[in-house]
Chains A and B, each alone.
Chain A
């Protein structure tokens, strides 16, 4: 072909045309065969693969989020329920015009600027595939207004579903936690399509989080034939969801709500324990957050409101707040002294204080001749100092632990901090300092390095009241067997019971809180006032943060203990003034609910309504004040961190001052604070992970 003749004739061209024509025809046939083979390859050999792909195009599987298991109180009243409602969600990656859609939804649903900004934040923060809740609990007409506009709003989903609801709102916030949409991290970990199904929520805190696996349930599914644009042609089949298992608690819902509301404007925790078996009947911490408001995601102003409140609503004070127990330690100390051989009838003279070496530890009053019962009744420090000095602090600390102080309890889902019952080894480990006699004196009256949680105080009260080693439990029907028998004789307990009875019913510190019940039930208790700062005088003046904590431990009926209650009011001044009245009203609720409600409703008029009312009003004022200027809510992790951060208090405080050696200008603290260390960092030994 490369050596063709120079002369080209019509004939050679004709030959060439015929040869090349055959080549072209061959090319055409060859391609035809190739196409047929290719069609066969795709259609027959790889048929299964493409058939699956075609089927997954055609059939759309929609998950129906399962109804979450209920959280019930001991009487099967719901603490967390599911409310059937109309809701609107959107999926960012399917939006054609994000800001336009948000504005349109805002108009249709009547969302205020704060809600619109929160919605924009959530869309911003969500990964493209994560559904974002626009609104839930909608009235029918608003829902219908969005529904009819759906064809113009791609990526918006309006549906009927179930939303988590907490009938008593803030009262159970810390106890049961809250739910929210699954985070992107959750989805990265578990590629379960349920997690990105609109309307599906996971537990974010406390019981809702811990019991997520059993509360979750099994999603239902709907198979439908859909077009490429997502229009449903017809339903193929449907599977109902299976509701999650109910979680039944030992909590008494009414009591929980009453106790929470009775706390009122204070920052406080109140724990109620059943003395018959250790069941926790109420575990409250106020102020709290409203878990209902968290369900769709936490808004900017809400977050600002919760974070800026100095009453720390995000801290569950009942199990994570640590406080010096102050004089509420004295019944425990009395048992320890008896175990160490001190006769309850031995009398100590209280001249208004106690001298240790060159220093003088001052008592609250001059009590004169004081035996053990009177020491409890009158809260005489001198008695306990002198006795503790005699038997040694090492005889007291173990008894504190036996009664539940400084101990972490086995309560699934409840994230506790267990505080500190200090001893020489602890102090050496923590501060590299020797234990001093002054430390012993401080510790024996519940000051210094001692820090405990309200739950521990309640357990201590229950154990002292019953003499049984009760173990607190929260899951109904899963009662814990009592621990090893307590090392106290009934006579030893009797002395303490009498002292505590006299605190309320004798001439003790809590006389003003005697129960006034028709049935004549009496309570026994012990007040405590714990210093948060080393003050020259016991203080109820100055700024709120500088005031003493008010504590009260108790049980009732005094003659046959049925309930034990511990109340801690942060910066509540005197235990008798702030804490004991709360306990009194909660007992009243337990024995005569009608009467108790009467008292509470009257009080709430003065406080501005229920906690939910007050929060709503505060939120409205924040909207008016800040509008859209609040900073963004941080990611899920930050919220979890805020809920679980350690309580900033307590800083170890020396309760006593030395009169002898007080320099005229007055460095108020007698015992030198151990070189700044304790005040710089709180003894956070007892933080559970």
Chain B
């Protein structure tokens, strides 16, 4: 423990996480400032305000005791599932793709909330299970229900990207919970067989197009491949040091679509080059390493799974977004946390950060108590 002029309460905060995040978010604001043609509005300023608000929220979450997390896990999970059902019902009535729930005072996207929620629910689930159950077939039935219901509800919206994101977070928690390894290998093999079939039967036309275009963006450079092509041009023309702050022609002349949201990484890389890219990726890796270390140091199974699951949820955002922007994954509407403009994804990620900070506190308290 550090001693000195800094008060204990401030010194105890995990600054080795918060400072990199603040730097990353500020870098995001700089990119958005340039994307707005050198203006704080409408994005850069709001980006900082969002960050401040959600950081406060994360501090609040980090103060929540473990028992409250455990006690609230099931009610929160049920509440979010009910919201997902409501979204689907509203969507069925209004027609078309429906993702938002209008609460009157704000727009809520329950599928976003489900990402940390599923991690919390599974951590609680495995906490309840006796260790002997983890390697029996029977465990798959409740697991399938807990993950399948929200995932299918989200995919029915239809929102394939978020549905897969929820499933991926869940799979990682289940994986870390210690289910037999060969189940995962077998499931991986099964997916490899079923995925092509599902591609041609289950996917919507526009989803299929996105995948096809991902495989060959030049086949339709002005149509559906436009996003990927322009994104690669933006990143590729940046070079090592970039075109310089405020000089990104791809974003400024509107060639890069969604330059301030999903393709913000490309906007950044055009002006800051490979250097900016490595800088961004490095901060993310630092955050992941911090999260995984918290998980490893966790005093119990619930905390460990919770921390690892939250870390992976953030990782999944980052991985899918950057791979898409770099032309390694199909175009899906997933933003890059702390860089892209947008409140609801930032909220999800800051919930994850708050939860990680909470687990970090439990770890240190345990250690200070000598357990």
Interface residues of A (CB under 8 A from B): 1-2, 4, 7-10, 12-14, 16-18, 20-21, 24-25, 28-29, 31-32, 35-36, 38-40, 42-44, 46-47, 49-51, 53-55, 57-58, 225-229, 233
Contact residues of B between 272 and 323, Cβ < 8 Å to A:
273-274, 277-278, 281-282, 284-285, 288-289, 292, 295-296, 301, 304-305, 308, 312, 315, 319, 322-323
**Chain A residues within an 8 Å CB radius of B253:** 57-58, 225-228, 233
Report Cα–Cα, A481/B74, bound state, in Å: 108
Contact with A along B158-186 (1 / 0, CB 8 A): 00000000000000100111101110000
Supposing A24-B172, A28-B292, A54-B249 touch, asked if A42 and B131 sit within 8 A by C-beta, the answer is no
Decide if A16 touches B233 in the complex (CB within 8 Å). no
Residues from chain A with a CB closer than 8 A to the CB of B322 are 35
A25 to B289, CA, bound (A): 7
**Alpha-carbon separation in the docked complex, A43 to B239 (Å):** 4
* Residues of chain B contacted by A18 (CB below 8 angstroms): 296
- The answer to whether A57 and B308 touch (CB under 8 A), given A16-B178, A39-B278, is no
- Chain B residues within an 8 Å CB radius of A36: 274, 277-278, 281
Residue of B nearest to A40 (CB): B274
Q: Which of A12, A21, A28 contacts B131 (CB 8 A)?
A: A12
Query: Chain A residues near B319 (CB, 8 Å)?
Result: 28, 31, 35
A residues within 8 A CB of B175?
A: 20, 24
Nearest residue (CB) in A for B226 is A228
In the complex, chain B residues whose CB is within 8 Å of the CB of A38: 326, 328
Give Cα A337 to B290, complex, Å. 118
Is B236's CB under 8 angstroms from A46's CB?
Answer: yes
A55 to B249 CA separation, bound complex (whole angstroms): 8
User: Which one of B181, B235, B250 contacts A1 once the chains associate, using CB atoms below 8 Å?
Assistant: B181
CA distance A584 to B5 in the complex (A): 120
With both beta carbons as reference points, the residue of chain A lying nearest to B328 in the complex is identified as: A38
Chain A residues within 8 Å of B132, by CB: 7-8
A8 touches B134 (CB 8 A): yes
Residues of B within 8 A of A (CB): 131-132, 134-135, 172, 175-178, 180-182, 230, 232-240, 249-250, 253-255, 269, 273-274, 277-278, 281-282, 284-285, 288-289, 292, 295-296, 301, 304-305, 308, 312, 315, 319, 322-323, 326-328
Contacts of B178 in A (CB 8 A): 8, 12-13, 16-17, 20
- B259 nearest CB across to chain A (Å): 11
23 chain-A/chain-B pairs, Cβ below 8 angstroms: A1-B181, A10-B131, A17-B304, A17-B308, A20-B178, A24-B175, A24-B292, A28-B288, A29-B285, A32-B282, A39-B326, A40-B274, A42-B235, A42-B327, A44-B274, A47-B236, A47-B239, A50-B237, A54-B233, A54-B234, A226-B253, A228-B254, A233-B253
User: Which residue in chain A gives the minimum CB-CB distance to B248?
Assistant: A54
**B239–A44 contact, CB under 8 A?**
yes
CA distance A46 to B323 in the complex (A): 17
Q: A36 vs B235: C-alpha distance in the bound complex, in angstroms?
A: 12
Give the A-B contact count at a CB cut-off of 8 A: 152
A398 nearest CB across to chain B (Å): 68
CB < 8 Å neighbour of A17 from B135, B255, B301: B301
- Report how far A39 CA is from B284 CA in the complex, Å: 15
B237 touches A54 (CB 8 A): yes
**10 more CB-based (< 8 A) A-B contacts, given A8-B131, A20-B178:** A1-B182, A2-B182, A7-B132, A17-B177, A43-B273, A44-B239, A54-B236, A54-B255, A57-B230, A57-B249
Cα–Cα distance between A4 and B239 once the two chains are bound (Å): 51
Q: B235: which of A7, A24, A25, A50 is its contact (CB, 8 Å)?
A: A50
Q: Please report the C-alpha to C-alpha distance between residue A42 and residue B282 in the assembled complex, in whole angstroms.
A: 18
| Contact residues in B for A55 (Cβ distance below 8 Å) | 237
